Amino acid sequence: MSHTNTQVLFHSRPAGMPKEDNFEIVERSMPSIGAGEVLCRVLYLSVDPYMRGRMNPGKSYAAPAKLGEPMVGQTVSEVVESKDSHFRPGDFVLGFTGWQAYAAMPAKDLRKVDPVAPLSYYLGVLGMPGLTAYVGVIDIGQPKEGETAVVSAAAGAVGSIAGQIAKIKGCRAVGTAGSDEKCAWVTGELGFDACINYKTANLDDALKAACPDGIDIYVDMVGGAMLEAVLRQINVHARIPLIGMISQYNATSPVPGPNLGPLLVNRATVRGMVVIDHQDRYGDFIRDVSAWLREGAIRCREDVVQGLENAPGAFIGLFRGENVGKRVVQVAPDPRRGAQR
């Protein structure tokens, strides 16, 4: 075991787009554990757009990240030492260790993962993004056979799963993404019925063409102009799970929203959701999505960035739309896949 612990500290709060120098990489001494604690070696860490909110000084749905501490985030780790009876060395665990190579964690804050799937999936399709997609589409979207579901950020961690769940539930699935390459993957590999490149298309025309029967569900990860365009084509009693607003996370001044007239006229529902409220659905989610993965009804792709030191760049790249599929950072070799996965 190494004698130092590499950490990526949250160094300064960004104004607008986060930059590399909002983070600082340091070497610290290895943590030691006390009773009821577990020493974790981080294998994979998750980078997700929602973390941008944690970098702001004000309270969002969670407390802001603290300057000078490891950047917050969920990881999959291997237990290397345990002073708690529920965990043993060699166990794999999910936890919010933050961005560091090793972490001393209270056992109560860890969840053991049964690695029936690749470990990194517990940060993606079988993790928070997957549960977000599951609750967003099924519980809030209430999909009915033959309806049309539009999913933004369709090549992202949540959107790619959300559209496939909508398909499983009998909907026409229409994605939006930021490049032709992403769109080709969304329709070709994931089986969406259509995908709109929002950077090159006229949104109104493209939505009209892709959704000839209007829009019943909109899984919104982006806000902004896309939400506005979708609202112009929603059907009566449309449901809109509001999951993310990546288009405005880096805004430095207040951003107006969409005109809400169509919600009134169409008696539609917009419901904000954060996955932490829906842990009661975790069991159903794991059961269903595991089965859909086995059957090939859901496919996923990971975008694995190597090396803890590259976590800041991997995170920042999310806002440039670099990733296709779920982006994770590999911090240490995955013992279940050999040295390089």
**Beta partners for residue 102, in sequence order:** 41
**Smallest separation, CB 131 to a copy of itself (Å):** 14
Counting contacts by CB under 8 A, is residue 203 touching a copy of itself?
no
Of the candidates 12, 142, 235, 248, which one interacts with a copy of itself according to CB under 8 A?
248
Q: Got the DSSP string for 185-214?
A: HHHHTS--SEEEETTTS-HHHHHHHH-TT-
The site that binds a copy of itself (CB under 8 A) totals a number of residues, namely: 32
Residue 202 binds a copy of itself, judged by CB under 8 A = no
What is the contact mask toward a copy of itself in residues 34 to 63, using x (rule: CB under 8 A)?
Answer: -------------------x------xx--
b/e per residue, 125-158, with b = 16+ CB within 10 A? bbbbbbbbbbbbbbebbebeeebbbbbbbbbbbb
Question: Considering the rule CB under 8 A, would residue 267 count as an interface residue with a copy of itself?
Answer: yes
2 scored as a contact of a copy of itself (CB under 8 A): no
When the beta carbons of 61 and 309 are compared against a copy of itself, the nearer one is 61
Residue 270 beta carbon to a copy of itself: minimum distance, rounded to whole angstroms: 5
CA gap 301, 288 in Å, rounded: 18
As given in the structure block, the two tokens for residue 81 are: 């030492």
User: Which residue in 16, 89, 257, 307 binds a copy of itself (CB under 8 A)?
Assistant: 257
* The pair of three-digit structure tokens given for residue 150, joined into one six-digit string: 């539009």
CB of 254 to a copy of itself, least distance (A): 6
Residue matched to tokens 């166990």: 91
> Which tokens belong to 168?
């499983």
Q: Is residue 104 near a copy of itself by the rule CB under 8 A? A: no
Amino acid type, 288: D
Cβ-based nearer residue to a copy of itself, 267 or 320: 267
**Phi, psi for 133 (deg, rounded to 5):** -65, -40
Binding site for a copy of itself (CB under 8 A): 53, 60-61, 223, 227, 236, 242-245, 248, 254-261, 263-274, 277
